[in-house]
Amino acid sequence: MATDQVYDVAVVGAGVFGAWTAYQLSRTGKAVALVDAYGPGNSRSSSGGESRVIRMGYGPDQIYTRMAQRSIVLWKELLGSSALFQASGVLWLAKENDAYCEATLETLRQENVRLDQLDRDELARRYPQLNFDAVAWGILEPDSGVILARRALQVVVEQARKGGTTYLEAAVLPVEPATNEIPDRTSAIVKHGNGRLNSVRTNSGREIRAQRFVFACGPWLPKLFPLLLANLIHVTRQEVFFFGVPAGTELFGPERMPAWIDFNKLIYGLPNLDNRGVKLAIDAHGPEFDPDAGERIVSSEGLTAARTFLRQRIPVLANAPVTETRVCQYENTSNGDFLIDRHPEFENVWLVGGGSGHGFKHGPAVGEAVAALLSGAGELEPRFSLTTKETVQQRRVY
């Protein structure tokens, strides 16, 4: 099934990076096709799920603080007066002699991010629902907060469509740059020549033709580019838990409880949004995971770990019932930096990914940057280049 239309840009993946790229390109008048196998915000995607934290703090990594500052402006512009972004604040919990939180504090000040530095007594006074044992001080980002991720992403895609983007729900088959032939439909199908990708095909046989391609398909990047990315993009299984709050209490809503991050224990929590319960997740990378075939049922070990921490940090919820669970996945590069670079074999193909665990907030800035690169107005960020990616994970960006 072929089509005569040749798009200016085909964006593969309607997660937050791909959706914002399509939206930014549509605003410049480009003819854009946005393709996704399962739909925007679907439960298999790294951009799915109900909520994400939008924070400015990144230790010494000023580049991400600046991107987050730009992104929150664009999120607010797009979402307008809706309740999809809620400025609950984001609270960093620090121990004595906490190098990462001290670097975060310094970076926030350098970038003129509004903040409150709170001692332990002030933390306890403001947030009686939290237990601050082993916490010496904290940083509150009062203008940061939480975003209802799945619904916000769907707004981005809808706005892209209103701007002229063609949305296609289809699975693109793997791209194999080693052959000029078009194999049978069950294997990698791609047309290319002289270092240019002319089209891709879907599993239904549809051919999508474009002048340029952006592959922003998260954990599917190593599946579409197995020779190039199989050992450079690391896909891991992550578990998320929601715990029910006591009836009639307002202590756990976003007006009273901020999103909080205990960096030293790699765990974070979100307030009770849409009455779904308090969200708790461990940020440490889990085992390898297949986004297509992986079962999305949490483990008893994961629940035990989450409850143990819940008793420590929010003791009033020690016996709270689990109201929801979710298994998602991260897809990260070796150190956690983004991947935004041109494919080494195709001068008209761009690879965008490596954002899981901290990337959702950055969708607007990433989309803006990719659109600028495609127009020739942007410059490659060396930290995001393909040549900096390694096969062994040594996480440095959180």
DSSP assignment of 345-369: S-TTEEEEE--TTT-GGGHHHHHHH
Strands 52-54 and 137-141 turn out to be unpaired
Residue 187 clears pLDDT 50, i.e. is over it: no
**Distance between CA atoms of residues 226 and 68, nearest Å:** 31
pLDDT category of residue 1 using cuts at 50, 70 and 90: low
pLDDT category of residue 184 using cuts at 50, 70 and 90: very low
| Tens-digit pLDDT profile for residues 106-121 | 999 999 999 999 999 9
Give Cα 382 distance to the centre of its chain.
20
Instruction: Return all residues near 112 (Cβ < 8 A) that are at least 6 apart.
Output: none
pLDDT category of residue 189 using cuts at 50, 70 and 90: very low
pLDDT category of residue 127 using cuts at 50, 70 and 90: very high
Q: Are 22 and 120 in contact (CB under 8 A)?
A: no
Residue 121 CB-density burial (10 A; 0-12 exposed, 13-18 middle, 19+ buried): exposed
Please give the single-letter amino acid code of residue 157.
V
DSSP assignment of 203-221: TTS-EEEEEEEEE--GGGH
**Distance between CA atoms of residues 254 and 276, nearest Å:** 12
Percent of the chain whose predicted confidence (pLDDT) is above 90: 94
Residue 38, number of CB atoms within 10 A of its CB: 16
Q: Is 222 helix (H, G, I), strand (E, B) or coil?
A: helix
| Tens-digit pLDDT profile for residues 248-280 | 999 999 999 999 999 999 999 999 999 999 999
pLDDT category of residue 4 using cuts at 50, 70 and 90: confident
pLDDT, residue 193, reads 43
pLDDT category of residue 186 using cuts at 50, 70 and 90: very low
Question: HSE on the CB side for 11, CA within 13 Å?
Answer: 34
Q: Which range among 2-16, 297-311, 330-344 shows the weakest confidence by mean pLDDT?
A: 2-16
Please give the single-letter amino acid code of residue 379.
E
pLDDT category of residue 176 using cuts at 50, 70 and 90: low
**Distance between CA atoms of residues 50 and 347, nearest Å:** 37
pLDDT, residue 339, reads 98
pLDDT category of residue 105 using cuts at 50, 70 and 90: very high
Percent of the chain whose predicted confidence (pLDDT) is above 70: 94
pLDDT, residue 177, reads 47
Domains along the chain?
6-47+151-232+335-388 (3.50.50.60), 72-147+234-332 (3.30.9.10)
pLDDT, residue 185, reads 33
Q: How far apart, in Å, are the Cα atoms of 24 and each of 38, 49, 164, 363?
A: 22, 23, 11, 11
Residue 190 clears pLDDT 60, i.e. is over it: no
pLDDT, residue 181, reads 39
pLDDT, residue 370, reads 98
Q: Which range among 16-20, 162-166, 186-190, 300-304 shows the weakest confidence by mean pLDDT?
A: 186-190
**Distance between CA atoms of residues 302 and 321, nearest Å:** 15
| Tens-digit pLDDT profile for residues 355-381 | 999 999 999 999 999 999 999 999 999
Residue 184, number of CB atoms within 10 A of its CB: 7
Residue 41 clears pLDDT 50, i.e. is over it: yes
pLDDT category of residue 194 using cuts at 50, 70 and 90: low
pLDDT, residue 2, reads 52
Average pLDDT over every residue of 300-329: 97
